[in-house]
Each structure stands twice: as structure tokens, then as C-alpha cells.
């Protein structure tokens, strides 16, 4: 069965440290994080779209702007869970889901996954 996908991408800059990590990541350091959100669905709406790019991008921007130019370790929930790429992906996914449920803006689309790139070579994915 064919499915449609819409992907939006945003970046933010933030610092973090991974307490207990055996290497240099235990020290405070920063990244320009790239976040991709993938929405999927079996059909388009009456306008022929699965999801408007502006709607999806605006929701993702709302989530990542709260992380931008911050030390992630100081933010909830990263004050109690490590701010790894895996956990950042999960938190962004959960916050996007909250926006979707409260605003109903994603129409026929479903949030499928969030990918967080910590560098151009390393990413973590969280999916439903």
C-alpha cells in the first residue's frame, strides 16, 4: 500500500553534557542540532496535500525554539534524563504530538518519527 510522507526540518543550537559518559561527551559541549519530523498518511485532503509544509514547519519550530541557545541539561525533562540525541528525539516527538492533539492541525497526517542529527554523520530516531 502506498503512503504519503511529508518531512520538515529545523535546526537549533544548544549545549549539553552527558554525565557518566566515559568519553569527552561528559564535558559541556555544543551542537547545531538538525531535527526532522516525518508525517505520513494514506490519503491527501481535498486540496491534494497530506499536510501543509507551513503548518508542519511551524509546529516543529515552536518545539525546537524552546531548546535553541540553551543548555539542555537545565531544561525539563533533561534535568532528570540525559540529554542524548535519543532523548531529544523522544521529547520533540512527544511535544509535537501534544501540539497535534490540542490544535488538530495535522489533518489526515500522523506524526511517524522524529530524527535528531547531532552531527552530519550521527542521528537518532524516535518513532511511534
Full DSSP string of 73-123: GGSTTTTTS---HHHHHHHHHHHHHHHHHHH-TTTT-EEEEEEEEEETTEE
**Domains, in order of start, for the chain:** 4-16+33-127 (3.30.479.10)
pLDDT reported for residue 82:
98
pLDDT reported for residue 106:
82
pLDDT reported for residue 103:
66
Sheet with 29-41, strands from edge to edge, namely: 70-71, 4-16, 29-41, 110-119, 122-127
pLDDT reported for residue 2:
65
Give dist(CA 9, CA 54) in Å, integer. Answer: 11
Buried/exposed 23-45: b ≥16 CB within 10 Å, e otherwise: eebeeeeebebbbbbbbbbeeee
pLDDT string in tens for the chain (128-residue length): 669 999 999 999 999 999 999 999 999 999 999 999 999 999 998 889 999 999 999 999 999 999 999 999 999 999 999 999 999 999 999 999 998 876 677 888 999 999 999 999 999 999 98
Exposed/middle/buried for residue 12 (C-beta within 10 Å: 0-12, 13-18, 19+): buried
pLDDT reported for residue 128:
83
Q: For this structure, is 71 an active site residue?
A: no
Q: For this structure, is 118 an active site residue?
A: yes
pLDDT reported for residue 108:
82
Please give the grid coordinates belonging to residue 79: 534535568
Q: For this structure, is 43 an active site residue?
A: no
pTM of the model: 0.94
Phi then psi for 58, rounded to 5 degrees? -65, -40
**Catalytic pick among 43, 69, 74, 98:** 69
**Catalytic pick among 25, 34, 61, 94:** 25
Amino acid at each position: 500500500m502506498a503512503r504519503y510522507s511529508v518531512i520538515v526540518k529545523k535546526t537549533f543550537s544548544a549545549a549539553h553534557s552527558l554525565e557518566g559518559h566515559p568519553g569527552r561527551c561528559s564535558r559541556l559541549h555544543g551542537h547545531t542540532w538538525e531535527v526532522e519530523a516525518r508525517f505520513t498518511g494514506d490519503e491527501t485532503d481535498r486540496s491534494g496535500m497530506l499536510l501543509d509544509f507551513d503548518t508542519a514547519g511551524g509546529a516543529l519550530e515552536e518545539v525546537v525554539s524552546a531548546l535553541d541557545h540553551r543548555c539542555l541539561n537545565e531544561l525539563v525533562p533533561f534535568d532528570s534524563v540525559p540529554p542524548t540525541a535519543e532523548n531529544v528525539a523522544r521529547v520533540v516527538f512527544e511535544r509535537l504530538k501534544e501540539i497535534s492533539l490540542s490544535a488538530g492541525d495535522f489533518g489526515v497526517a500522523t506524526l511517524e518519527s522524529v530524527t535528531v542529527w547531532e552531527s552530519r554523520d550521527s542521528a537518532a530516531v524516535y518513532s511511534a
